[in-house]
Amino acid sequence: MSESVDVEGLERKALSEVEGAVGRLLEEMKRLEARTQRAETRVRDVEALLRRFTRGDEDPAQLQRTVSGLQEENEELRSRIEEGREAVERLLARIRFLEEQP
């Protein structure tokens, strides 16, 4: 009997840890999505600048540096979001497994 109590306690502890990890990952995903939205807003701003540049109002070298930086940041954010989603899926699979245990 004490063995089953220990196993149940360990399972509850493991489930609690997994739930905490999932919660932290979801929060990180929210932060990354917010950063992605900000980056996309900045891309729209850069596109507006590009339209101004084509009229000769902006410095092309500075515009190119800005665009390059935004593209790199956007790719990094997309990669981090994908990694976060994969981690959440793995944790959810673990939770489902723990829930199915007798």
pLDDT for the residue 4:
60
Length of the chain measured in residues: 102
pLDDT in tens, the chain (102 residues): 455 668 888 888 888 999 999 999 999 999 999 999 999 999 999 888 778 777 776 677 887 898 999 999 999 999 999 999 999 999 989 888 888 887
pLDDT for the residue 37:
93
Quick one: which of 97, 84, 78, 92 has its CA closest to 18? 92
Number of structural domains, the chain? 1
Quick one: which of 78, 73, 90, 94 has its CA closest to 25? 90
Domain span at residue 53? 2-100
CB of 18 within 8 A of CB of 98?
yes
State whether the Cα torsion 4-5-11-15 is positive or negative.
positive
